[in-house]
Amino acid sequence: MSETDPWQAVLERIDDGARLIGLDDGIHRMLSVPTRVLEVAVPVRMDNGRVEVFTGWRVHHDVSRGPGKGGIRFHQSVTVNEVKALAAEMTLKCAVVDIPFGGAKGGVQVDPRLLSDFELERLTRRYTIDVASLLGPDRDVPAPDVNTDARVMAWLMDTISMFRGEAVTGIVTGKPVAIGGSLGHVGATSQGVLICCRAIFHELGMPMAGARAIVQGHGKVGGPLCYLLSSAGMRVVAVTDADGGVYNPAGLDTLALADHVARRGSVDGFEMADPLDPAKLWEIECELAVPAALENTITAEAAESLGAKVVVEAANGPTVPQADAVLERRGIVLVPDILANAGGVTASYFEWAQSRQGFAWEGQIVAERLRRIMETAFDACWHRSKDLKVTLRRASVALALERVGEAIRLRGLFP
């Protein structure tokens, strides 16, 4: 996999979108620099008494449309440029689905698999205090991301609540339902991806029933998505993760695969399928390819050999800019991450609203509102792509920049 600077990749796409819509030069320059970048040292006393120091970040890209919104990831390869890029993508993503948030992101450079539960909790609470000056229901609202979950969000919320002496449920989303989380938040990203899959197949006149799908990643998004795609009538023929891959041309039993992953921690070794080299995943002939892992997995080289007709990005930044041109030349349609995986932040918006209202919504209401927002966003991006005669990614970025640019223009420049 070639190394691509994720921040430069996002800047290239912002530059392209700015040219497409004739964005004001001053606004363009503002969106090319994060509003604030906080880097913190995170000292943690380990179970053996030794103190380890990890590096963490919290980035606000643009908050013209509302409080910063974006996840916190714990991963050994996290860098400041990765966090900056993810924050910028959140700015665009929130604008695409037209919810009142700006873009933010956080990360700690750590391998959480090497930590005990107590060490993970101490890391979370110390990082939370270190970035607390940026957080608040009206300033910055974190959520789960890679290697973080509802438990980590509960620790974050509790830390801020203890610090302030009051319950601050609206400071974080993706919490357990028992402490103010929302029904329907778990799996919302996967649901949003499925909605976009249905929409793009409809627009292209392709039936989903019997169509073949491949999925990279079987985590919080990829795992539920495999089941959802299968339930929609698709044959999920291949799935890979960091430790291996499996292939069955007749279609994988996604429920049995999920049980296997719950027991073994990986798709590797699943007995009801043949082993698959993860490097060969993209070459498999299919109708749908879903990258649901980390960034930069579809390189220009991978795009040249891609066997899919449609790509729907469930991960953040899985396709490098050079690959976009290859996919367009080959006639492969791509639904970009800032649209396809926006179901998660949309559900987070619902949770934030419920926390501020002090009133929980029924699960059916959450599901219906998620469907409506995602379908509306897809239609807006699809029609913008037809108007501008460009790909869905370029159109989605252009639409997002129009909305963010309007907010910046209306607010004016202080002082």
Active-site residues: which are they? 105
CB atoms within 10 A of CB 354: 20
Name the nearest CA neighbour of 56 among 160, 114, 159, 134: 134
Collapsing DSSP to helix, strand or coil, 230 comes out as: helix
d(CA 143, CA 67): 13
CB atoms within 10 A of CB 12: 15
How many CA atoms are closer than 13 Å to the CA of 273, on its beta-carbon side? 26
d(CA 78, CA 348): 23
Q: What are the residue ranges of helices labelled H in 232-292? A: 254-264
Asked whether 91 and 114 are in contact (CB, 8 A), the reply is: no
Name the token pair of 195. Answer: 């909605």
What are residue 238's phi and psi, to 5 degrees?
Answer: -150, 140
Tokens 């129009």 sit at which residue? 402
What are residue 15's phi and psi, to 5 degrees?
Answer: -60, -45
Non-local (6+) Cβ contacts of 117 within 8 A are: none
Name the nearest CA neighbour of 68 among 301, 345, 409: 345
Distance of CA 250 to the CA centre of its chain: 30
Collapsing DSSP to helix, strand or coil, 413 comes out as: coil
What are residue 80's phi and psi, to 5 degrees?
Answer: -65, -35
Collapsing DSSP to helix, strand or coil, 136 comes out as: strand
d(CA 356, CA 320): 38
